[in-house]
């Protein structure tokens, strides 16, 4: 091989030399094999042994070189792994954001439900609407029999308390749902007819709180009154009484 190389012209030598340098490990293996072949041809044991050693060493070196090169080519793999980790991290962050968003939405729904429940609790009861509001003009106008007829229409349970020397005739009306009560007190007017003089609404869960419409036993025009802790406050409308009782 070496003799052929020396016999080549200048340009070809340069080209072959460059290739040999690039493929130096393989070139060394080929030269070692050539040396071994010539040693076998000369039948000299020392050269044969040396040739075998050279072939073994150059082959081993060549193998190691290409193993290193193959490892270098595989180095980008960890970069890919890092990119996968970045993706996993991004997914994890997205999951955290989604969970946080769900918590915020659940909190908003809960607050909305609480507000709706509060508004519902602030509304007048059906009992208040059916009896108190329906009879808001009853004071000094509606008779005892008229009140009884209205109560029978709505089907609420009521109790009649007959008058005596110290009390007026009274009707106590009961609500089975809220346990609130409404009291009608009657007074005999100038023509001998029993008409409403006081209508009072009492809340079961707030016993010290009530509202009433009263004419002071026919000595004054009907007035709206709020009662709390035995204190009476005159107000201008039934709407103010609703706010007082249910807000």
57 pLDDT tier (thresholds 50, 70, 90)? confident
Neighbours of 139 (CB within 10 A): 24
Range among 8-12, 26-30, 109-113, 193-197 rated most confident: 193-197
CA distance 133 to 129: 5
pLDDT in tens, 121-160: 568 999 999 999 999 999 999 999 999 998 998 889 999 9
CA distance 216 to 229: 20
Report the pLDDT averaged over residues 172-191: 92
pLDDT in tens, 22-31: 656 677 767 7
Q: What is the mean pLDDT of the chain?
A: 81
Q: Residue ranges per domain, the chain?
A: 2-74, 126-246
């Amino acid at each position: 091989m070496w003799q052929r190389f020396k016999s080549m012209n200048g340009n070809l030598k340069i080209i072959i030399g460059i290739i040999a340098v690039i493929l130096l490990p393989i070139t060394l293996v080929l030269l070692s094999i050539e040396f071994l072949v010539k040693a076998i041809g000369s039948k000299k044991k020392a050269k044969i042994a040396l040739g075998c050693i050279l072939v073994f060493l150059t082959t081993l070196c060549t193998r190691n070189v290409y193993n290193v090169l193959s490892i270098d080519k595989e180095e980008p793999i960890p970069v890919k792994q890092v990119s996968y980790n970045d993706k996993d991290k991004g997914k994890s962050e997205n999951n955290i954001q989604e969970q946080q968003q769900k918590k915020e939405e659940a909190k908003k729904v809960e607050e909305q439900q609480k507000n709706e429940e509060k508004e519902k609790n602030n509304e007048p009861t059906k009992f208040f609407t059916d009896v108190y509001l329906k009879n808001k003009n009853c004071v000094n106008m509606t008779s005892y029999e008229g009140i009884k007829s209205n109560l029978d229409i709505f089907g609420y349970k009521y109790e009649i308390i007959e008058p005596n020397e110290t009390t007026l005739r009274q009707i106590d009306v009961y609500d089975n749902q809220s346990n609130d009560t409404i009291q009608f007190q009657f007074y005999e007017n100038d023509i001998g007819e029993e008409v409403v003089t006081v209508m009072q609404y009492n809340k079961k869960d707030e016993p010290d709180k009530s509202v009433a419409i009263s004419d002071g036993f026919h000595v004054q025009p009907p007035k709206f009154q709020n009662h709390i802790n035995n204190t009476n406050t005159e107000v201008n409308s039934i709407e103010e009484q609703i706010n007082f009782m249910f807000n």
